[in-house]
Amino acid sequence: MNESTTGQSMQFGIFTVSDITQDPTTGRTPSEAERIRDTLTIAKHAEEVGLDVFAVGEHHNPPFWSSSPTTTLAYIAAQTERLVLSTATTLITTNDPVKIAEDYAMLQHVSGGRVDLMLGRGNTGPVYPWFGKDIRQGLPLALENYALLHKLWREDVVDWEGKFRTPLQGFTSTPRPLDGVAPFVWHGSIRTPEIAEQAAYYGDGFFANNIFWPAEHYQRLIGLYRQRYAHYGHGTPEQAIVGIGGQVFMRANSQDAVREFRPYFDNAPVYGHGPAMEDFTEMTPLTVGSPQQVIDRYAGMRDLFGDYQRQLFLMDHAGLPLKTVLEQLDILGGEVVPVLRRELDANRPESVPDAPTHASLVRAAYGDGPARQARPRPNRGDNLTSGSPYQDAPQPAGSAFGAAAARSAS
């Protein structure tokens, strides 16, 4: 195991949806190459200003560029030392679970364990036929594909038969997860109770990307997840692992922030030409103003959703130029996040778990014992053979995910 990020009660970071959007103040639209380079710069700067997480979405259509998150995150892993790399989201419906298992296990190895992923169904309907899937089966695909992914990461040899893909017999995904511990999974949703139920069943994290709808909607989703997490025996509702989204734009003077951000808001492809910015900021976490206003708004998230583990901000959208985004990160990392860490740690019950990291999952799996190191036997042959292809590979003393995960692997 090689990971510098140890236990943290809260993780703060940024996510990008990878949009390529015209700057409404200049009329200039960056090229794909420029936008990709800028995003890599933003990710590295996130670590430089003291943030914990960088996450990238997955899209397969213009005006987005992030069709290959693992390639992007592997490059960023090589350029950083402690940043946790994640997705926002990985499409569990249209990606092959075997390929997800292999790609993100490989990313675990090359990043030294600094990786987790958020699974979701996405919000682009046409992506389903592009990858040979039926959007009417979106939810069943999400449930079945994750059941297989979960199994592939926890069993060396997998036999599988489901509805949506060809069967597997004696299949081993390679490489095996680093230290025998699967990447931590967040199930992302903005509206679907079944996804909250899925996250609770496996004892995984639930990420409510609450950037569009009123807080009451996400209170219900998160409340359901916490209740069902306890129902499946993973702990108390307060011990469930929750992440939420956010959007901010800051200047020292709040009037300057409002004036500067308004043309970007008004023309944004996501919410432009809709509600007025003042109405949108009242209904959602979007906060446009001074650093103190952002601190006050996000320190209050605990009152809405309970103690939680991960806060991600959308910072580089709507055509904002690179210089402005880097300035925003300087303010976020220098003035806002240090105060939020203190505020959200204050009076945090000891029973509430820290944000999950690879190191914490290894400790949960093995205690003080050695982590598993998979060693494939030579001349194994192909994957259509029964029995384990691994030797000298001690198993974890217990599961980090509880009884429900164990049941799903049987």
Residue 213 near residue 390 (C-beta atoms within 8 A): no
Identify the CATH assignment for 11-408 out of 1.10.760.10, 2.60.40.150, 3.40.50.1110, 3.20.20.30.
Answer: 3.20.20.30
String of DSSP letters for 115-161 = BEEEEE--S-TTHHHHTT--GGGHHHHHHHHHHHHHHHHH-SSEEE-
Which region holds residue 367: left if phi is over 0, alpha if psi is between -120 and 50, else beta?
left
According to DSSP H, which parts of 268-401 are helical?
277-283, 291-299, 301-305, 322-331, 337-345, 358-366
In the chain, % of residues over pLDDT 90: 70
In angstroms, the CA 133 to CA 60 distance is 14
What is the helix, strand, coil percentage profile of the chain, to 5?
45, 15, 40
Q: Say if residue 128's pLDDT is above 80.
A: no
pLDDT category, 190, cuts 50, 70, 90?
A: confident
Instruction: Report helix, strand or coil for 354.
Output: coil
Tell me the per-residue pLDDT of 276-296, one tens digit each, with 9 for 90 and over. 999 999 989 999 999 999 999
Distance CA(79)–CA(294), nearest Å, equals 29
Quote the pLDDT of residue 377: 59
Tell me the angle at which helices 69-79 and 97-111 cross, rounded to the nearest 10 degrees. 10
pLDDT at 381 over 90: no
Question: Can you give the residue ranges of every domain in the chain?
Answer: 11-408
2 vs 5, 35, 190, CA distance in Å? 9, 31, 34
Name the packing angle between helices 138-154 and 193-202 (round to 10°).
Answer: 10
Q: In the prediction, which pLDDT does 390 show?
A: 57
The CB-side HSE value for 8 (13 A sphere, CA atoms) comes to 23
